[in-house]
Structure 1
């Protein structure tokens, strides 16, 4: 699998965004804390900017007001002419694009770290788009080395035939830190503490990269989304079953053909009919009911990542 080149200049313009979804509480409260205490995000070569991404949804403790903000950063939406009747998240996406972008230009931020929570049992998951995968692989490997007892999985998410639409796609390089399980509208101390520590490690990695640290070659398992599976439904679209107990909470574990995936309300089991092993992700995620997704399917494969030489001394360093 081939990846785009890693950036060869320091990443000085860095943002940490929380509250892209207004009921995912760790990123919200961490962003609000850092807005009052930004020194926690400072490193020698840069100071990350904390941003509360969706303040209206946060105030209402809802995922979004009018539409999903994290699906609103396509060039089509960002380039549309503003009108008074625009959905709130369209207006907010355009504001964030002006602040952190514009998307696809040299003026865009170097790196955006977007913080999310899920109700699914994903643990620590880094979600990357293909355009940023090379740099993010080194970042993920660094986190794995720093936290040997903490599984940190790498999910490549690039739906074919669609524009990139996430908040972190506005920057030249970006990644989503997804952590769960945590209920919507709930702040769990253990998840929040862990996220805060991981943010610190991610900023430490950016600092090491900026200062010219070389990173050795390695091999790593990654997961790539290949589709989604909806709940069993009636002809009217109503649920007639839910995620099977043998699948629930088993994110990133192998699902074999013939394994149960749904339990119908009538008591019958629905079995997985695929022709190969897949790895379900975001199993029974609360926010995906409206998207008609019971879980995402991913394939697992190993990549060999070459050594990354350090930046040259001629690369500019921020004052």
Structure 2
């Protein structure tokens, strides 16, 4: 089977590469009007539009028509949405499910193929919310996020790690489609349980403290109660007041200042994967790679 560019992809997987937000990319920005990565709920995709809708709202509908529709039998089998982070995250697989065995087996394969870089699985546990990101358009999907990399900056090491991660993901899909057996077993994942905002002035909502130097860049390092979390601009240390040790991630992420998030907190858990093998041998998956800034 041919890829979207006409190049051969091993004869067993169809690949389509899509630039999610071309207008923002040309300007070196995360988005123009609104965060594209929050525009993929059913309400956003199917509700009425204003006379002059934000660009990202109309672009989300274009992507849903191309790759979905979301929740339909016609949706692509797997969406891998490529993101960068300004946080010291390493390479992360981010998904809304902790029991999508396709995504979890891809994650374990990446861990084994990339021993020189931290590879982690983040489970966004939002039981009362619908998944809102582009990867939710596919039957299966996840974001492949890497950092630290500032927006608009090219780093060879980050580029190479992301390229390798995507190539290994494609290799996994080819192996899966060929009928390979992926043995079950335990994997560790991080389930998000909440987030913390920066301390802010009551009247202006301006931040009044930064991430403490001892916490900065310590993504996925256990944070214990009473350990330093913030440092005010006058030098005062503000400590973590949670009741249990948790793992911080997305520490000081640039894109989350506007969302009122200084960092997320997660519990580390172990999940046992079942042995996995394709049921319809010879029926290739439609794999989609989508690139977008996080």
TM over 0.5: same fold?
yes
Q: How do 1:87-236 residues align onto structure 2 when only pairs under 5 Å count?
A: 87-130=54-97, 133-236=100-203
- In the alignment, is residue 273 of structure 1 matched against residue 253 of structure 2? no
Note if contact 2:94-2:122 (Cα within 8 Å) is conserved in structure 1: yes
Shift in CA distance, 194/254, structure 1 to aligned 2, threshold 3 Å = same
Secondary structure of the structure 2 residue equivalent to 1:104: coil
- In the alignment, is residue 287 of structure 1 matched against residue 268 of structure 2? no
Deviations 1:29-56 (A, max 9, x none): xxxxxx8x663x8232123101011011
Shift in CA distance, 66/13, structure 1 to aligned 2, threshold 3 Å = farther
Q: Which residue of 2 aligns with 1:55?
A: 22
* Separation in 2, partners of 1:95, 1:270: 45
Deviations 1:125-182 (A, max 9, x none): 1101117732111111111111223221000013231111100100101110000000
Deviations 1:281-315 (A, max 9, x none): 100001100011000011101112122245354x5
Shift in CA distance, 94/317, structure 1 to aligned 2, threshold 3 Å = closer
* Separation in 1, partners of 2:57, 2:98: 23
Q: How many Å apart are 1:13 and its aligned residue?
A: 11
Q: TM-score by structure 2 length?
A: 0.91
* Separation in 1, partners of 2:6, 2:23: 22
Note if contact 1:43-1:204 (Cα within 8 Å) is conserved in structure 2: no
Note if contact 1:247-1:260 (Cα within 8 Å) is conserved in structure 2: yes
Q: Which residue of 2 aligns with 1:66?
A: 33
Count of residue correspondences: 284
Secondary structure of the structure 2 residue equivalent to 1:266: coil
* Separation in 1, partners of 2:228, 2:6: 48
Shift in CA distance, 300/317, structure 1 to aligned 2, threshold 3 Å = closer
* Separation in 1, partners of 2:178, 2:267: 35
Identify the match of residue 239 of structure 1 among 193, 202, 207: 207
200-209 vs 127-136, which deviates more? 127-136
Q: How many Å apart are 1:275 and its aligned residue?
A: 0.9
Shift in CA distance, 317/102, structure 1 to aligned 2, threshold 3 Å = closer
Secondary structure of the structure 1 residue equivalent to 2:130: coil
Secondary structure of the structure 2 residue equivalent to 1:293: coil
* Separation in 2, partners of 1:79, 1:309: 35
Identify the match of residue 306 of structure 1 among 264, 274, 291: 274
Q: How many Å apart are 1:317 and its aligned residue?
A: 4.8
Q: How many Å apart are 1:238 and its aligned residue?
A: 1.1
Q: How many Å apart are 1:221 and its aligned residue?
A: 0.9
* Separation in 2, partners of 1:91, 1:83: 10
Q: How many Å apart are 1:83 and its aligned residue?
A: 4.4
Q: How many Å apart are 1:84 and its aligned residue?
A: 3.6
CA RMSD of aligned residues (A): 2.0
Note if contact 1:278-1:298 (Cα within 8 Å) is conserved in structure 2: yes
Greater share of residues in helix: 1
* Separation in 1, partners of 2:125, 2:67: 21
Q: Which residue of 2 aligns with 1:27?
A: none
Unpaired runs of at least 5, structure 2: 286-294
Q: Which residue of 2 aligns with 1:252?
A: 220
